[in-house]
A and B are shown apart, each in its own frame.
Chain A
């Protein structure tokens, strides 16, 4: 479990993290989302015990990071931003250094080492210097380092940054498997990652917590939530008819590809009536889509201070 209580960090006049209070339970994968410079990494550095908070507190598995740093650090696996590691060491040396630093006993240590090397597919690069590895491989070495002691709490700062789509998929699967009984906090600015990984999202900007919800709840805040979009040639007539439907709030046409999006009135369900109308008009519709909502739009609205339906959690 990770808890932060009014966690605050100031650099001179700049407040990087402003009274952040979050609580992540076992089984949760919380995505910390925010624009660059929002304070994600600073918050994580305080939870990991690298930076001292200006005020407030952070706890890992009940251990206060300032008062019981060693217990907190033992419970935590942490991938710092940019996955730093000692470049002059080989992957094998580096991971064995971590095994020793984590105080793993010989046999258990070897077992975990083998398992992690296999999980992250590092067998072939064990003898290579970390300096010579690609960005993606270095990231995987960083991940291996973080999960080596099989920690109950995992904190990953942009875990898939620099990975190709296949590697991203592999890392997400790994996190998914680990998520079952662990507490996981990841920071990202990739919205697709939130869909793929997280069952909870916290959005911060300028150090402040702006939203705390499930991905689905966030999507529901989107203007596009429940909207119906379709492409149909020669649909000038039907637009007018659609506008007359009682449940419809607005209609937009994409100026580029002519795709029509129909927005519902709050709480209304419009897929069926729209479909029915189109059938009655005898229009050829190649495909029709019910929108779940667009996270990027919600993200933009929240982090730029725009109005968001539903208010803050």
Chain B
């Protein structure tokens, strides 16, 4: 078995031997349900789709993804196991990718476990299941980008609290940057072109496009590239720390 695989398995196991996994899954599922049915006007809208469900995902990830990723490297640095891990025969990117994939698969599992909502909407009406599938895909891709941000920022510090706050901060910026309110706020001071360019960095905009069922290659590339970019930055950070 490759070292990457070994890291992945170890990480995934560590979620489940500590309460992290169960606490996360319970909170994620409960919040997803409550937000969809109460805050999202699931019934009142009278439409058989999961739009209100997916709309909540960025905000759920904002709190829950940093909680998963904060320990990723900070805990290893603090506990001294980083020295053990980095003196075993594996490349830094393998360790990073292994940890990332573990977290991503875990979020994937959380998404799969929301299937009762999908069953409900199919029971109540006849939704376009293609759009719902696209929504799940978009949500999972967005989670990947959030995880990559968290992985990178966890490599920056030995403190899990700092990693959590930094990750949540960057994520909220990336969610808000495309919102009309934010754009209006800056429209007086910044040139229109810059605002439009920055708005394209918005997670929300790309996610909503996919969740509507429109699989545009640009939206997919956005998530793929931002994920890879943040992971690469994390590897670079870890490498710099060895030389500092």
Residues on A lying within 8 angstroms of B by beta carbon are 45, 48-52, 69-70, 73-74, 76, 78, 80-82, 84-89, 93, 97-98, 100-103, 145
When distances are taken between beta carbons in the complex, the residues of chain A under 8 Å from B90 are 70, 101
- 5 closest A-B pairs by beta carbon, nearest first, are A84-B80, A100-B6, A52-B243, A73-B89, A48-B87
Q: Is A100's CB under 8 angstroms from B3's CB?
A: yes
State the B residues within 8 Å of A (CB). 1-3, 5-7, 9-10, 13-14, 17-18, 79-84, 86-91, 242-243
Q: Which residues of A contact B242 (CB under 8 A)?
A: 50-52
Closest chain-A Cβ to B39's Cβ sits at a distance in Å of: 36
What residue in chain A is nearest B91 (Cβ atoms)?
A70
Choose one: A69, A81, A84; the contact of B79 (CB below 8 Å).
Answer: A84
Q: Determine how close the nearest CB of chain B comes to the CB of A93; give it in whole angstroms.
A: 7
B197 to chain A minimum Cβ distance, whole angstroms, is: 37
> Does A88 lie within 8 Å of B87, measured CB to CB?
no
Q: List 19 A-B contacts (CB under 8 A).
A: A52-B243, A69-B91, A70-B90, A73-B87, A73-B88, A74-B89, A80-B83, A81-B80, A84-B81, A88-B14, A93-B13, A97-B6, A100-B1, A100-B5, A101-B3, A101-B7, A101-B90, A102-B88, A103-B1
- The answer to whether A87 and B87 have CB atoms under 8 Å apart is no
- CB-CB < 8 A to B80: which residues of A? 80-82, 84
Majority secondary structure, A binding face: loop
> Could you say which residues of chain B place their CB within 8 Å of the CB of A80?
80, 83-84, 87
From residue B87, how far is it (CB to closest CB) to chain A in Å? 4
Q: 4 new A-B pairs (CB below 8 Å) besides A84-B79, A88-B18?
A: A84-B83, A86-B81, A101-B88, A101-B89
| Chain B neighbourhood of A86, CB < 8 A | 10, 14, 81
Q: Whole-angstrom distance between the alpha carbons of A206 and B83 in the complex?
A: 23
Is there an interface contact between B89 and A102, defined as CB atoms closer than 8 Å? yes
Chain A residues within 8 Å of B9, by CB: 97, 100
Q: Which residue of B lies closest to A87 (CB)?
A: B79
Nearest A residue to B243 by beta-carbon distance? A52
Query: In whole angstroms, what is the CA distance A73 to B3 when docked?
Result: 13
Bound complex: CA A74 to CA B82 (Å):
17
Return the chain A residue nearest B79 by Cβ: A84
**A11 (CB) vs chain B CBs: closest residue:** B244
Q: What residues of chain B lie closer than 8 Å to A145, measured between beta carbons?
A: 84
> A212 → chain B, closest Cβ, in Å?
25
Cα A45 to Cα B6 with chains together (Å): 23
In the bound complex, residues from chain B placing their C-beta under 8 Å from that of A78 are 87
In the complex, what distance in Å separates the CA atom of A145 from the CA atom of B18? 23
Are B86 and A50 neighbours in the complex by a CB distance under 8 Å? yes
**Most chain-A Cβ atoms within 10 A of its Cβ — which of B9, B83, B90?**
B83
Residues of B within 8 A of A84 (CB): 79-81, 83-84
A residues in contact with B2, CB < 8 Å: 103
Judge whether B86 and A49 touch: CB under 8 Å: yes
Measured CB to CB, the closest approach of chain A to B8, in angstroms, equals 10
- Bound form: Cα–Cα A81–B84 in Å: 10
CA A308 to CA B222, docked complex, whole Å: 68
**Alpha-carbon gap, A50 to B17, bound state (A):** 28
Q: Which residues of B contact A85 (CB under 8 A)?
A: 81, 84
- B5 — which chain A residues lie within 8 A by C-beta? 100
Docked complex Cα distance between A220 and B223 (Å): 69
Chain B residues contacting A98 (CB-CB under 8 Å) are 88
Closest to B7 in A: A101
